[in-house]
Structure 1
Amino acid sequence: MLNWLQRLFKGKATERAIPEALWQATLADYPFLAQLPATQRSALRTLSSRFLAHKEFHGAQGMVVTDDIAVAIAAQACLPVLQLGLAWYDDFVGIVVHPGQMLARCEQTDDIGVVHRYSEVLAGEAMEGGPVALSWPDVAGAGHSAGQGYNVVIHEFVHKIDMRDGAADGCPPLPSRAARKVWHDTMQTAYDGFRDKVAIAERFGGEPTWLDPYGATSPAEFFAVASEAYFVSRSRFTEDFTPLTVLFDQFFMPDRPPA
């Protein structure tokens, strides 16, 4: 870690403003952050400083977490909670940064009781009640991959939002049964339509989907994948998922002026 982040951690959770040069370098690396309105960029900088004061970064396999790595992750992680607040992330402290993608050992039992064990390559992982793990190359490339709607930090931190009321199921905690019904109905319609498009593309040579087909694997993954695209490529996302843009605005950004 470099000097600024070391001083921050020695301050024992004392919030310190992200230095101007470091913040500007982060905006330059991630244009979707630089394109936010000035008031939102200022609020994001403040929230990112608070995030850094209360989270602990760990480098895997001897990786050194530098100031620019920590600030890049903090800024992207704080984007989904810019209006919701950091309390949505208060169930964990640790963020583990890997120098490359991770190999996870998985186990799944099929419908007839046979256990299948396999390995899966991951760019990130969010653990219920536990830390978030991220591949630094995927984080670092997020400025370039925004045009494809891809962002591993937002993906994993949206899973943490989803997990606030238990295992990720594609629906975050909402204030009423009516709100949950609207969420479920809107998401289910979009998810079903997306799964159909992915199936047509994969099985019958149809046009590939712009949104990552990984979102078709479950409602929880669809929520995370859709949220990535909503935050980093809003206009393109809205072309395919206008009802979801409206739904996500109401949840993530209720103070946003109507389009």
Structure 2
Amino acid sequence: MANFLTRLIGGNRRERALRKYAIEDTLWRATLDRLPFFGHLDSGDLARLRENTTLFIAEKEFSTAHDLPLTDAMIVAIAVQACLPVLNLSLELYRGWVGVIVYPGEFVIRKTVEDEDGVVHEIEHDASGEAWEGGPVVLSWEDAQMTDGEDAYNVVIHEFAHKIDMLNGEADGHPPLYRKWHAPLDSAAWNDVFDHAYDHFCAQVDAVSDRRWYRFERESLIDPYAADHPSEFFAICSEALFVKPAAFERVYPELYRLLARYYRQDPAGVGALA
């Protein structure tokens, strides 16, 4: 009886959230029209995506900085992109935090780092997004609107990939593998493909001379920043999987199949889930 009542209460709460935070039809269509990389989804996928987006909006708290007006269009645009990676998984992967903070443009991040000699430095740099372990996701609205699919860039998918990566501790490019979704994919298989691809990419970046750097940065499907840390490689490759799937599969076929199996989506339509 207790399990039945728990399910009943949970179901009622879900239905109330879907009614209260329902996304207006015109806004939904306008949002999808600005996101060409959603084109691989069929009508059933889009219906589930709309439900998940609605529930995400119900569960999270959106706020802005520097007097940026918070609009429904802004909220839906961010929420639907955040929900794409977990469409065939679960919103449970975004548990344990509630805040989404939106800045008008890039913002300054200040960090304390310790060098190899044990000297502590205070550093700051501009950022278009930041995911805090146990805390909010912070986004540049200017960057969040760069969704034309011209390159493999999507700050929303990037930061929410970090959030998934953080579920089993500090982000390290080895996100949690759940038997109910990811079997028979296991940590050994993940490490074999992912770590090899990361090492190979780092070697490519290291081999680029200063004279060729601009050309490499311009022509590389994967942003060279991905070599900074395995967590960045995972997040940037997650962007490529969803935004430029055909090119990603062509250049990195094994890595494409690994991430397709992880997210349980095959946006390039190459049979990667078979």
Pair 1:154 & 2:165 matched: no
Q: Name the residue aligned to 1:10.
A: none
Question: Which residue in the other structure is 1:6 paired with?
Answer: none
1:15 is displaced (CA, Å) by: 2.0
Describe the superposition over 1:3-25 as per-residue Cα deviations: whole angstroms up to 9, x where unpaired. Answer: xxxxxxxxxx7223311100110
Shift of residue 175 of structure 1? Answer: 3.8
Report the TM-score when normalising by structure 1.
0.89
- The farther-off stretch of 183-192 and 72-81 is 183-192
**Alpha-carbon distance between aligned partners in 2 of 1:211 and 1:178, rounded to the nearest angstrom:** 24
Partner Cα distance (2:210, 2:177) in 1: 36
Worse-superposed segment, 92-101 or 248-257: 248-257
100 and 130 in structure 1: CA distance in 2 versus 1, 3 angstrom threshold: same
Structure 2 counterpart of 1:240, from 248, 251, 268: 251
CA distance in 2, matches of 1:56, 1:202: 45
- Give the alignment partner of residue 62 of structure 2, picking from 57, 75, 78: 57
Where structure 1 has 5 or more consecutive residues not aligned to the other structure, the ranges are 1-12
* Structure 2: segments with no counterpart, 5+ residues: 1-15
| CA apart distance, 1:39 | 2.2
Deviation by residue 1:40-63 (Cα, 9 ceiling, x = unmatched): 222211110111111110011121
Change (3 A) 1:240 1:54: same
Whether the aligned pair in 2 keeps the contact of 1:88 and 1:161 (CA below 8 Å) is yes
Equivalent position of 2:242 in the other structure = 231
Separation (CA, whole Å) in 2 of partners of 1:56 and 1:234: 31
Q: Give the paired residue count.
A: 246
Aligned to 2:7: none
Matched, 1:124 2:129: yes
Cross-structure match for 1:90: 95
State the identity as a percent.
42
Alignment of 1:183-194 (within 5 A): 183-194=190-201
The answer for the alignment partner of 1:167 in structure 2 is 170
Aligned partners of 1:234, 1:28: CA distance in 2, in Å? Answer: 18
Secondary structure of the structure 2 residue equivalent to 1:61: coil
Q: Is the 8 A contact 2:172 2:231 kept in 1?
A: yes
Distance apart, 1:254 and its partner CA: 6.1
- Partner deviation per Cα, 1:66-106 (whole Å, 9 max, x = no partner): 01000000000000100111001111111001011110112
C-alpha distance 255-239 of structure 1, shift in aligned 2 (>3 A): closer
1:179-258 to structure 2, matched below 5 A, reads 179-203=186-210, 205=212, 208=216, 209-253=220-264, 258=271
Q: Distance in 1 between matches of 2:265 and 2:106?
A: 35
What amino acid sits opposite 1:234 in the alignment? P
1:9 corresponding residue in structure 2: none
Aligned partners of 2:177 and 2:185 also within 8 Å:
no
**Residues 26/254 of structure 1: CA separation in 2 closer, same or farther (3 Å cut):** closer
Segment drifting more, 69-78 vs 246-255: 246-255
What does residue 38 of structure 1 align with?
Answer: 43
Bigger radius of gyration: 2
Distance 1:47 1:234 in 2: 22
| TM-score normalised per structure 2 | 0.84
CA-atom RMSD, angstroms? 2.1
Counterpart residue type for residue 226 of structure 2:
G
